Amino acid sequence: MSYGLTLEDVRKVNQPTSLITPWGAIASLTEMPHYAMYRVDVAARASQPLHFFATDFHAFLEFGELVVRYIKPDGSIEVGLLAPGHTLPLPRFVPHAFSSAAPAVLYLFGPRTPQGIEQHLVETEAQAQIAVERLDPHNLAPIGQPTTDVREKYWGRIETILAGDIAAKRLFIQKGGSGSLEFHVEKRESYYIHSGLIRLGLRIGRAENYSITLGPGQAYDIHPGVMHLREGLDDSVILEVSTRDSDSDSYLVEDGQTYRHVDSAIQS
């Protein structure tokens, strides 16, 4: 007799693949229908054409430095410099574009749509390249805001990128650090491993423990009711997207400061 979730229900790891573009690459990082998270790689000396989305997105720059161009309501073009660790709202229908002298990694968070992410171009690749070549990044004003609600934890650090019906966080887990075993009743969440190596501890079935190791470029979706914890096998950075986040929907099962997750003898 089986009780609750089985190993087959929770063992799937997402292996996102990137769509290569003239300016870099973009990859969808979660298969959840409730939200979307994308990784955007901007290549060195590359320039995106001005484009817009039909839905609201929120951007977070993890690595590098980006020149941001966007069209204001009066039709004029504003230009700014987005620094790593900063966030930037990208309202729907507002044309914008990123460019960089060196490689950069940006994450986008927003709603899931049946057609995925659609970029509607308002200029050509050639026009974008010419516009960026005329800019001097050293004379640009900073744009965007730093993350909020930064909390130092015994296992690392957590900071908020976006709060609302769709939430996003950046997690730093230090090597050897382990969070508590917990579960949510309403919240759905997804992790993407930007760097490092983590062990995701799960408790399923008849209180059986199981672990999944996740490395850079891998993602994992966590459904309500799944007991889980995060342990750093190396210093690691995780990008998380979820439905609305509330402390009242986090149920502690084991305290990470004293608990050590040991796998049960589960047959694969």
pLDDT digit string, tens, across residues 104-149: 999 999 999 988 888 899 999 999 999 999 888 888 999 999 999 9
Domain membership of residue 268 (yes or no) is: no
How far apart are alpha carbons 58 and 231 in whole angstroms?
Answer: 27
Q: Domain count for the chain, please give it.
A: 2
Whole-number pLDDT of residue 11: 87
129 and 220 both lie in a single domain: no
Domain membership of residue 259 (yes or no) is: no
Interacting residues of 191 by C-beta distance below 8 A, sequence separation 6+: 200, 214, 219, 220, 222, 230, 238, 239, 240
228 and 123 both lie in a single domain: no
Whole-number pLDDT of residue 114: 86
Domain membership of residue 166 (yes or no) is: yes
Query: Could you tell me the pTM of the whole model?
Result: 0.94
Domain membership of residue 263 (yes or no) is: no
180 and 140 both lie in a single domain: no
141 and 187 both lie in a single domain: no
26 and 112 both lie in a single domain: yes
154 and 203 both lie in a single domain: yes
Q: Residue 47 sits in a domain of what CATH number?
A: 2.60.120.10
141 and 152 both lie in a single domain: no
Domain boundary among 125, 145, 165: 145
154 and 186 both lie in a single domain: yes
Domain membership of residue 153 (yes or no) is: yes
221 and 130 both lie in a single domain: no
125 and 185 both lie in a single domain: no
Domain membership of residue 245 (yes or no) is: yes
Whole-number pLDDT of residue 251: 95
Whole-number pLDDT of residue 12: 92
184 and 139 both lie in a single domain: no
Whole-number pLDDT of residue 266: 55
Domain boundary among 130, 145, 160: 145
Domain boundary among 96, 128, 145: 145
Which residue range(s) make up the domain with 128? 18-145
Q: Give the chain's residues under pLDDT 50.
A: 1-2, 267-268
29 and 134 both lie in a single domain: yes
Domain membership of residue 1 (yes or no) is: no
